[in-house]
Every structure is written in C-alpha cells, then in structure tokens.
Amino acid sequence: MDELEGLLELNKAEGIYIDIGTKVYLEIDGVTFSVTSVFIGLLKDEFMIITLPKRYKSVKNKLYPGNKMIVKYLHEGSVYAFQASVIEMITSPIQALALEYPKVIQKRELRGNKRRHVVIPGRVEAKKLKFPIIIDDISKKGCRFKHQEKTNLREGDLLRVYCKFPGFTDETGAMACVRNIRREQGTLSIGAEFLDATQAFLVPLMHFLISIEDFA
C-alpha cells in the first residue's frame, strides 16, 4: 500500500474529528475492494474501535494484527483519511476491530465541481418519457449520462434523474436541467446540472463520492 500523500500532522490538542456512529470506508492492504464499517469509539492517542466491516467473511483473513488499511470518512463536508494498522479483532463480548490511533491525517475538501468517472445504471423521467441511462460522470453539482436511443431533450429542459448508489437499498432521484447534449460514437451523451437536490439524494451521493475518493 502506498503511503498517503500530503499528510497533515494530527492536532494532538484537539484530537481526531469523528463522531460515534460515523460510517467509515476501509481500503485494506491485500484486498482489491473497499468495505464499510461504523466508528464506535476511541481512547485518545491509544486506539480506535470500529465494527467488523460489511462483507466480513470476504476480508476476515486480512484483519490480522499489523495489517494496514486506509480509513476514510466524511466530517462537516470534508473527507478525512488516515492510515492505520490492525491491533486486534475482538469477538467477545462484542464483535469489533481495534485499530491504532492515527498519528497523521489527511483532510480534503469534497469539491462540488470535481467530476468522477463512474458506471451507475439509472433512469430519467422527462416530458412524459421514461428511459434507462448509464451515468458515467458525476459530482455534487451534476452528472453526465448516456442514452442509446433518440430523444427530444433540448438544452434547458428539466428532468428527474434516478440512480441507485452502491451500499444503499433505495433508488433516489434529483431534479436536473439539461446543459449540453452531444453525440459520441452513436450514443447521446447528456450533461445535466442538479437543481436543489434534497438530502435524500445528497447523502448517498456524498457517501458514494467518498468511497471512490483516491488518497493513495
């Protein structure tokens, strides 16, 4: 695992900014996919406790003492990340994971205009039309999606974009405005700006963006 770049020294007087119950994203050394967990508590300058991660059975053999991981989470609109080693896996009286207390931490603003290349299936409702889409570019401000068939959408048209973000059960949607339309290799590529997105849409979107934020 590469060391984190641009590390900031953790302010020992203030401690780490994280609330009990915060969802955290784990990139475990030796595992090709990220998993999620929940922050339970800490003893300052000593250790942190998180729940056993989801997909526990798939990563159990990598949760041995000394193995490293990058932990990411959201706090007041910023993404925080730090590298930590496993201290011990606890199985009784509770099931949890003890991690070393971070010595350094990285803070990064989750900028609204930073675009991420993704592949998210979704759908659009507009002008009494409903059609499937593939979102291939997304940020807090908007998205770009592809549609295989002809459409009568025009710049300035309002539509509702629906998608199901990984890790969330329910589909969620947001109003958007078409900003540009172009044809790419026989497929329509449509850029749309989100309009007054609700928390029901922003929360899973933010968590999805955190999960793919690269600190390595």
CATH code for position 128: 2.40.10.220
pLDDT tens digit string along 6-29? Answer: 334 444 434 578 889 999 999 999
Q: Judge whether residue 212 has pLDDT over 50.
A: yes
- Which residue would you say has higher pLDDT here, 106 or 39? 39
Of 60, 89, 109, which closes a domain?
A: 109
Q: Judge whether residue 166 has pLDDT over 90.
A: no
**What is the distance between the alpha carbons of residues 108 and 215, in angstroms, rounded to a whole number?**
9
In terms of residue numbers, what domain contains 189?
A: 116-212
Distances 30 to 51, 55, 65 between C-alpha atoms, Å: 20, 15, 14
pLDDT tens digit string along 124-146? Answer: 998 788 889 989 888 888 999 98
pLDDT tens digit string along 26-48? Answer: 999 999 888 999 999 999 889 99
The pLDDT of 41-56, averaged and rounded, is: 92
